[in-house]
Every structure is written in structure tokens, then in C-alpha cells.
Amino acid sequence: MKVTVKVPATSANLGPGFDCLGLALPIYNTITIEETVLPGTGVEINLMSENDVLDEMIFDNVPKDENSIIFKAVQMLYNSIGQEPSELKINVQSQIPITRGLGSSASVVVGGLIAANKLLGSPADTTALLSIATEVEGHPDNVAPAILGGFVLSSQEDDGTITYEKLNWPEEWDITVCIPDFELSTNIARSVLPENVPLADAVYNAKHLAMLIQAVNTKNEKLMKQALHDKLHQPYREKLVPGMKEIMEAFKHEDGIIGCVLSGAGPSILVISYKYDLDKIKSTVRDIWEGQSIKTDIRTLKIEKNGAEIIE
């Protein structure tokens, strides 16, 4: 028996929503898990990319055995019902660019869990799958929209449970995803963050996160433009993303541009706009990055309202 699951890309944080906001995007990884019949074959993991040669090179450094995060997630699910995974073949067909801040690791964790859960007869509900995925990833901001779809506010509580709420992202707000051709690992992006932040910065983000939620709920572009500012992670990560400062500065005072934010840990950047010339967004970003010898893939996308889906 085998199960195939399609999982969307995700973008986390959106400025002030550090580790608690995320949205799903219509770029997909497809994960297939098959129970093999040959005893003693163990776990086989195959990674296939539809992207460029760079991603193929990155795949060379991704574990393809029991050390893989997808196997760790599957193993945790099996262990939760008193079983141990044995002979499994796992295929990952990747469309989500790796190490670009678009939730590629969350997608394979979620896809592996949902496929394995189906193979086991669906013993885990959504809450349980969220908890396991969060334990593997460390925080729920990517795994929640990967599972649920849409725009999601989530939190891991002190007892380990996951609290989440889906919000209605305004259809009128366009999201232009700007993906540069260089990688930035989450570990490196987190390493530049301070262990402690000034109280004033924490209060600043709390206020702006509250404004962001209200702006989304009321479709208030003016409030959203003010809300997207952050002091907890983007100022520290800016030095890791060439061109980020210039891109944000270029759109700072443009009518119709709601704001620019780092996608997850970066280096991809989201430009959120309303009734603005999308070709101008693309040309502006491309000119800035090409001036620094950086190639880019730029796509204007709608939010993926559906989360991970079993397709066979």
C-alpha cells in the first residue's frame, strides 16, 4: 500500500508575527510513502527536484536515511501508537525551493506525517499531527498553514498543545514572492538573533502584531502598511540577505505597496500590494538583485486555501 500527499509551500512571520504567523502558497512538494514487502530493506528515501541544478546540489547534503527529518516525523507518529516503522520507501518530489524561507522542510514533515497516518489507519487527528510536526520543526508557524491551508495564527502552549486560528486573508491583496538564487539555512538565520531583546522591541512587535490581525480582519491597507514593521528578527537578518534593505526602501513610499517582509528566515522576500502594477514590482526587485549579480524567480500568487491533501 502507498499514499501520496501534496503539500503547499508556506511563508512564516510576515514581519511582526515571529514564529506564530504563516500562510500557504500554491507551490507544492509531493510526498509518497510505500510499505515495501521485502523484509530487511529498511528505509529508502528518494529526493527529486523540479528546480535548478543548485537545488540538486543542496539535495546532496540532505540526509536520506533514518537521520532525515521526514523519517523522524514518521517514526514519532508510529511510536505514538506503540509501533516502529520498518520497511518504507519514501519519495519526495520537490517544487518548493530549498533553503529559501518557503517552508520546504515543513512540507516534507507534514507530507510524511499525513501519508504515514493514512497507512496506519488514521489514528492521529489534526491536533495530534500538528503537535508532532511542531515537535520536529520547533515551532508551528510553517506546519500549521501546510496542514490547514490559508493564513494561520498559531502558538505552541507550555503543555505542548497547539492553539491555532485561521484568518481570512483579503483576496484583493496580491502577494509577490521574490526568490533569489542563493540559499540561507534556517540555522544560520536563527544564529544571528539575540537570546534576549529589549523590552521596548518586544512591546513594539506585540502592538504591530495586534494591528496586523485587525488590518487583515478589516481589510485595512493603511493599517496593514503600518503593522508590517518588525524589530525582533528582520533587522538582524538583513545583513544575511543582500539587496533586502534596498528592496524595502524602494517600495517604502509607494502608493499601492502595502509592505515588504522577509519570508520565514529568508532569503525570499514577499511584496504585498493592492491595485499596484505587478510588473513594476518584478522589474524593481529584479533590477536591484541583478545589480548585485543575483538571479531571481519572481511570482505573484494567491494564498493556497487548502492545506496538505491526499491525492492517491
Q: What is the CATH number of the domain that holds 199?
A: 3.30.70.890
Among the listed ranges 83-92, 125-134, 204-213, which one has the minimum average pLDDT value? Answer: 83-92
Q: Same structural domain for residues 109 and 181?
A: no
Mean pLDDT of the chain: 91
For 130, the enclosing helix (H) or strand (E) is helix 126-137
pTM: 0.91
**Helices vs. strands in the chain: H and E counts, helices first:** 11, 11
Same-domain pairing of 163 and 183:
no
Burial letters for 232-247: b for 16+ Cβ neighbours within 10 Å, e otherwise?
Answer: bbbebbeebbbbbeeb
User: Which of 109, 34, 35 has the alpha carbon at shortest distance from 72?
Assistant: 109
230-251: pLDDT as tens digits = 999 999 999 999 999 999 999 9
CATH code of residue 104: 3.30.230.10
Sign of CA dihedral 77, 81, 85, 88: negative
244 and 260 in a common domain? yes
The pLDDT of residue 38 is 65
Residues 158 and 9 in one domain: yes
What is the structure's pLDDT at 87? 82
**Total tally of structural domains belonging to the chain:** 2
- Quick one: 146 and 160 in the same domain? yes
> What range does the domain containing 160 cover?
2-168+303-310
Q: State the greatest distance between any 2 C-alpha atoms of the chain, in Å, as a whole number.
A: 63
**271, pLDDT greater than 90:** yes
Instruction: Kindly state whether residues 164 and 178 are assigned to the same domain.
Output: no
Burial (CB < 10 A; 0-12, 13-18, 19+), residue 135, is middle
Q: Are residues 194 and 234 in the same domain?
A: yes
Q: What span, in angstroms and rounded, lies between the C-alpha atoms of 103 and 39?
A: 34
Same structural domain, 147 and 178 = no
Domain co-membership, 139 together with 205: no
**Residue 60 banded pLDDT, cuts 50, 70, 90:** very low
Co-location of 149 and 179 in the same domain? no
Q: Are residues 184 and 139 in the same domain?
A: no
Instruction: Please determine, for residue 261, whether its predicted confidence score (pLDDT) is greater than 50.
Output: yes
Quickly state the pLDDT bin for 54 (edges 50, 70, 90).
very low
Residue 56 has pLDDT above 80, yes or no: no
Same domain, 116 and 136: yes
